[in-house]
Amino acid sequence: MERSATIKAKDLPAAERQWIAAVLHVDLADEDEFTVSLRRPVVRIPDPKEREVAREGLRAVLGEFHERMKDEPEGPVTAAIDDALQDTRSRKN
């Protein structure tokens, strides 16, 4: 998300005007304008509880996968994974 606003120095109360002047290291004139922007990252960082739930879910899925694959010969499985990764890498380039 991104939002912005253009603000005229003359429209600001004295305290806010002084703060902005100090942050920007300038003397503001009444005719000065500046833009304030807010940017929020697209990716939200999960909190510790959400991470734990995701970790346990991933472990469950990987455990099920391991159980299904435990009797399969390793060579063909590794070859299939390598092929899939190679295909994915070639699409990125």
pLDDT along the chain (93 residues), means of 10: 91 94 94 92 89 96 90 84 82 64
pLDDT score of 61: 95
User: What was the pLDDT predicted at 43?
Assistant: 84
Helices (H), the chain: 14-24, 48-69, 74-92
Answer yes or no: do 52 and 88 share one domain.
yes
**What pLDDT score does 86 carry?**
86
pLDDT of residue 92: 63
Residues 33 and 54 in one domain: no
The total domain count for the chain is: 2
Based on the domain organization, do 83 and 52 belong to the same domain? yes
Q: Which domain holds residue 11?
A: 2-39
Q: What's the CA angle centered on 77, arms 72 and 81, to 5 degrees?
A: 155
27 and 57 part of one domain:
no
Question: At a CB cut-off of 8 Å and minimum separation 6, what does 35 contact?
Answer: 4, 5, 6, 7
Are 56 and 81 in a shared domain? yes
Residue 24: per-residue pLDDT? 93
Distance (Å, whole) CA 40 – CA 1 = 5
Spatial neighbors of 33 by CB under 8 A, at least 6 apart, are: 6, 7, 8, 9
Tell whether 54 and 29 lie within a shared domain: no
65 and 35 in a common domain? no
- What confidence score (pLDDT) does residue 23 get? 93
pLDDT at 37: 94
